[in-house]
């Protein structure tokens, strides 16, 4: 199989020439196109506006109003809210009538004070209203690998606890967008498997006012329906923390915790960037997060758009699941190096500033038991790629 550094190499220009048309993709595969530029402008250019009404899912993680500047830049306060709201009607036009817009955004804190900023929430509400959208469901994505932050209040003064989740809003122009939770079933926990196998449990009313029937848990539905708290299916329940035995069982069942952690340091994209001497995007989403919403809200062949693509996790996951994709990233270095997420053989076009070339193929000699023959100069070379 083709791979960067083994079969292909790439040279990426340090800067994009001024005056380059942002409406031509910087690279493409048969399924998708990556653009570099301001998505507010790009969404109004011909290639993207021609796709209006065709996108099944907008999945994105926009820059959020940080109180310290990160390398990819961001606005603050009311400026941020106004800027973010401008995307709502544009993205609404892009999606199909039963399409979805899913936005993941971290928490923000006020500068110099141990209190949270409500700008993110205000921005969401303004976005919802400006786009004429419904809030289908809110998700919390727990990230156990997040470093303690904000450092000043958590680690130094010890007056706040670790901020460990991001918020995800699933919005849609209709109250019933295309969705199927059967595509995101989780493996049953060992205790649920035992319950299905043995059929032994206590039916009857619960304090929560749910009535558990005699057959409620006997059917094997192929897996458990996940909750809207990603990663937290592996957190111990209150009961489980109370008894050592239950806690031990929880530890054994907690492998989902690892599945959402965004700590993979040796992934192909990172390796690619380091080999190219390029910065690795500092705010990459876990692939599992993209995968979850792709499976829940789209089918093979559907179009997925990420207008704040960063390292293009969305495009790469869409490609691997047979979805079409469109990505837009304003920063040339991040946009161009996202090519490292794709198999070089799948690339159909690249712009002049990205030059892909085959590496010389290795020459092997046929295996032989005759040492003399193998060293003879007229042995037939085998060319492999
Ligand atoms: C939180 S990051 C996205 C990370 C991405 N989900 C990933 O997995 O790599 C937000 C990105 O939006 C980009 N961005 C900010 N303003 C933009 C704009 N107007 N148009 C396009 N991209 C923009 C930033 O450069 C940054 O890379």
Same domain, 30 and 156: yes
Q: Is residue 34 part of a domain?
A: yes
Ligand 1 atom closest to the Cα of residue 328 is 21
Same domain, 292 and 202: no
Phi, psi of 287 (to 5 degrees): -60, -35
pLDDT beneath 70, residues of the chain: 66-74, 144-148, 216-218, 231-266, 362-385
Say what the pLDDT of residue 232 is: 59
The two structure tokens encoding residue 122: 């205000």
Beta strands in 134-286 (DSSP E): 134-142, 165-172, 204-205, 211-212, 229-230
Say what the pLDDT of residue 30 is: 98
Distance from C-alpha of 318 to C-alpha of 323, rounded to nearest angstrom: 5
Nearest-Å Rg of the Cα atoms of the chain is 25
If one counts the domains in the chain, the total is 2
pLDDT in tens, 83-95: 999 999 999 999 9
Ordered alpha helix ranges (H), 132-207: 151, 190-198
Same domain, 55 and 15: yes
Same domain, 20 and 88: yes
Say what the pLDDT of residue 379 is: 34
Q: Among 363, 364, 336, 329, which Cα is nearest to 350's?
A: 336
Q: Is residue 372 part of a domain?
A: no
Distance from C-alpha of 282 to C-alpha of 230, rounded to nearest angstrom: 21
The two structure tokens encoding residue 291: 């995968």
CA of residue 310 to ligand 1 center, whole Å? 4
pLDDT in tens, 166-202: 899 999 999 999 999 999 998 877 777 777 777 777 7
The domain in which residue 161 lies consists of 8-186+226-358
Instruction: State the chain's mean pLDDT as an integer.
Output: 83
Say what the pLDDT of residue 25 is: 98
Same domain, 217 and 331: no
Distance from C-alpha of 297 to C-alpha of 303, rounded to nearest angstrom: 11
Ordered alpha helix ranges (H), 43-104: 46-49, 77-85, 87-94
CATH, residue 300: 3.40.50.150
Q: Is residue 255 part of a domain?
A: yes
CA of residue 357 to ligand 1 center, whole Å? 28
The pTM score is 0.84
Say what the pLDDT of residue 135 is: 98
Distance from C-alpha of 22 to C-alpha of 28, rounded to nearest angstrom: 14
CA of residue 270 to ligand 1 center, whole Å? 17
Q: Is residue 345 part of a domain?
A: yes
CA of residue 66 to ligand 1 center, whole Å? 14
327 lines ligand 1 (CB under 6 A): no
Among left, alpha and beta (phi > 0; psi -120 to 50; other), residue 344 is: alpha
Same domain, 143 and 286: yes
pLDDT in tens, 1-37: 889 999 999 999 999 888 889 999 999 999 999 999 9
Distance from C-alpha of 251 to C-alpha of 72, rounded to nearest angstrom: 38
33 lines ligand 1 (CB under 6 A): no
Bridge partners (DSSP) of residue 357 are 9
Same domain, 144 and 43: yes
Q: Reduce the secondary structure of 87-152 to three states and give it as a string.
A: HHHHHHHHEEEEEEEEEEECCCECCCCCCECCHHHHHHHHHHHHHCCEEEEEEEEECCCCCCCCHH
Say what the pLDDT of residue 34 is: 98
Same domain, 36 and 62: yes
Same domain, 178 and 220: no
Same domain, 148 and 281: yes
Say what the pLDDT of residue 231 is: 62
Say what the pLDDT of residue 208 is: 73
């Amino acid at each position: 199989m083709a791979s960067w550094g083994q079969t292909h190499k790439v040279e990426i220009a340090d800067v994009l020439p001024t005056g380059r048309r942002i409406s031509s993709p910087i690279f493409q595969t048969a399924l998708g196109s990556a653009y570099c530029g301001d998505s507010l402008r790009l969404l109004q250019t011909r290639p993207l506006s021609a796709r209006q009404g065709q996108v099944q899912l907008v999945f994105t993680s926009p820059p959020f109003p940080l109180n310290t500047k990160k390398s990819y830049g961001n606005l603050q306060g009311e400026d941020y809210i106004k800027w973010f709201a401008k995307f709502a009607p544009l993205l609404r036009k892009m999606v199909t009538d039963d399409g979805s817009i899913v936005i993941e955004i971290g928490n923000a804190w006020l500068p110099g004070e141990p209190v949270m900023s409500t700008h993110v929430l205000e921005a969401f509400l303004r976005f919802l209203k400006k786009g004429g959208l419904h809030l289908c469901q809110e998700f919390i994505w727990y990230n156990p690998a997040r470093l303690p932050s904000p450092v000043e209040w958590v680690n130094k003064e010890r007056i706040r606890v670790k901020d460990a989740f991001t918020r995800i809003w699933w919005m849609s122009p209709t109250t019933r967008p295309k969705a199927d939770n059967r595509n995101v079933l989780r493996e049953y926990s060992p205790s649920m498997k035992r319950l299905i196998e043995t059929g032994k449990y206590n039916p009857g009313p619960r304090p929560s006012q749910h009535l558990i029937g005699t057959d409620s848990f006997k059917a094997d539905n192929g897996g458990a329906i996940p909750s809207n708290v990603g990663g937290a299916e592996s957190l111990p329940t209150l009961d489980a923390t109370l008894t050592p035995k239950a806690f031990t069982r929880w530890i054994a069942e907690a492998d989902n915790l690892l599945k959402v952690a965004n700590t993979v340091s040796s992934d192909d994209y990172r390796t690619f960037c380091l080999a190219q001497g390029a910065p690795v995007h500092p705010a990459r989403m876990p692939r599992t997060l993209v995968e979850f919403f792709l499976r829940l809200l789209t089918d093979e062949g559907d179009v997925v758009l990420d207008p704040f693509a960063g390292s293009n996790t969305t495009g790469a996951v869409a490609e691997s699941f047979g979805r079409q994709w469109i990505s837009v990233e304003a920063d040339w270095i991040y946009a161009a190096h996202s090519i490292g997420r794709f198999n070089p053989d799948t690339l159909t076009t690249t712009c002049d500033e990205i030059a892909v070339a085959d590496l010389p193929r290795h020459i092997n000699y046929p295996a032989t038991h005759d040492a003399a023959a193998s060293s003879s100069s007229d042995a037939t070379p085998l060319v492999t790629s």
